Chain A
Amino acid sequence: RFIPDSITGITTDTHNVTDAHNVTWHDFGRFLDVGRGSEVSGMSELKKYLCRFGYLPSTNNFTDVFDKELESAVRAYQSSLGLSVTGKLDSDTISTIMSPRCGLRDTAHNTTDKLHVTRH
């Protein structure tokens, strides 16, 4: 089972008992090496992640299928994050996806990004 170094051992909440761990991202390790055409339960959560950070358009109906759109999104993510562009959920890509990060989207030129507001 794939467990990236940066996340290894994160099993206990030592600081704030009212906040659960971000278990969703932690669970993405099980998608390692899943390829186009596969259907894996929970893949829709990965699509939501990629949507949140600007790599997939918003929809209420993400499926668990690794489809062409997801492959394109993975390629775009890999390019943005300086990873090898393979379109596959390789260990570098999964490890980076699971890392804690800034909440701002990576696609800076998306005009619909809520965080691109200015004060007038």
Chain B
Amino acid sequence: FAYFYGKPRWVKESPMTLTYAFSANNMIDYISLEEIKRVFKHAFARWASVIPVSFMEVEYYQSANIRIGWYHRDHGDGEPFDGVLGVLAHAFSPENGRLHLDAAETWSVDFETVKSREAVDLESVATHEIGHILGLAHSSIKEAVMYPSLSPRSVKVDLKLDDVEGVQALYGTNPNFTLSSLLESENSSNGG
């Protein structure tokens, strides 16, 4: 795992709750808002299960800690998106909170119904970008969620030991987290 320069992290009173909201104007319309919210809730829950930080969706976008939206090409933050595939998304280090997804991608929450060869799993990318929001940079471990690349039609949503160790060094350990359950799940995903 790696951190951003200066190892920034969110600093708030304990127990820490970070709020998140979706942009009213910068969304995709072929996945329902309900479904998008469900996917992000799962993605946030994965990180919340390993650190003593919780995430709460709020209505007010401007005042939310984490602000999520889909954008085309140059969208004003100096990091323009590039059309289909290429760059999929980006997010900013703590405590900025912006999480941007490329509106040109074919986002999917279910590869059974979305047959495009270019389809990109929304939950995998959301989980990765939330890692950046929390302060993790890219990992060189291919299996880690924080590895920078993701092939179309692939799913990578389970945090690996590298991800967990990195984020726990920033925020501490969720009292309900057990290393054995993580190792067990890593083992089963590796086919034992």
Contact = CB atoms under 8 A, between A and B. Distances in A.
Of the candidates B84, B94, B141, B142, the one having the most CB atoms from chain A within 10 angstroms of its own CB is B84
A118 to B, nearest CB: 6
A97 B154 CA distance: 17
Of the candidates B3, B5, B128, the one having the most CB atoms from chain A within 10 angstroms of its own CB is B5
A13 to B, nearest CB: 6
Which secondary structure dominates where chain B touches chain A?
Answer: loop
Nearest to A96: B149
Contact of B88 (A6, A14, A103): A103
B1 to A, nearest CB: 10
Contacts, number: 134
Interface in B115-135: 116-118, 120, 125, 128-129, 132
Interface residues of A, number: 39
Measured as residues with beta carbon below 8 angstroms from the partner, the interface class of chain B is: 35 or more
A22 B85 contact: yes
Contact of A100 (B94, B138, B149): B149
A108 B2 CA distance: 7
Interface in A8-67: 9-10, 13-16, 19-22, 24-26, 53
B158 interface: no
B4 interface: yes
A21 B84 contact: yes
Interface of A: 5-6, 9-10, 13-16, 19-22, 24-26, 53, 79-82, 96, 99-104, 106, 108-111, 113-119
Interface of B: 2-6, 8, 72, 78-79, 81-97, 103-106, 116-118, 120, 125, 128-129, 132, 137-138, 140-142, 147-152, 154
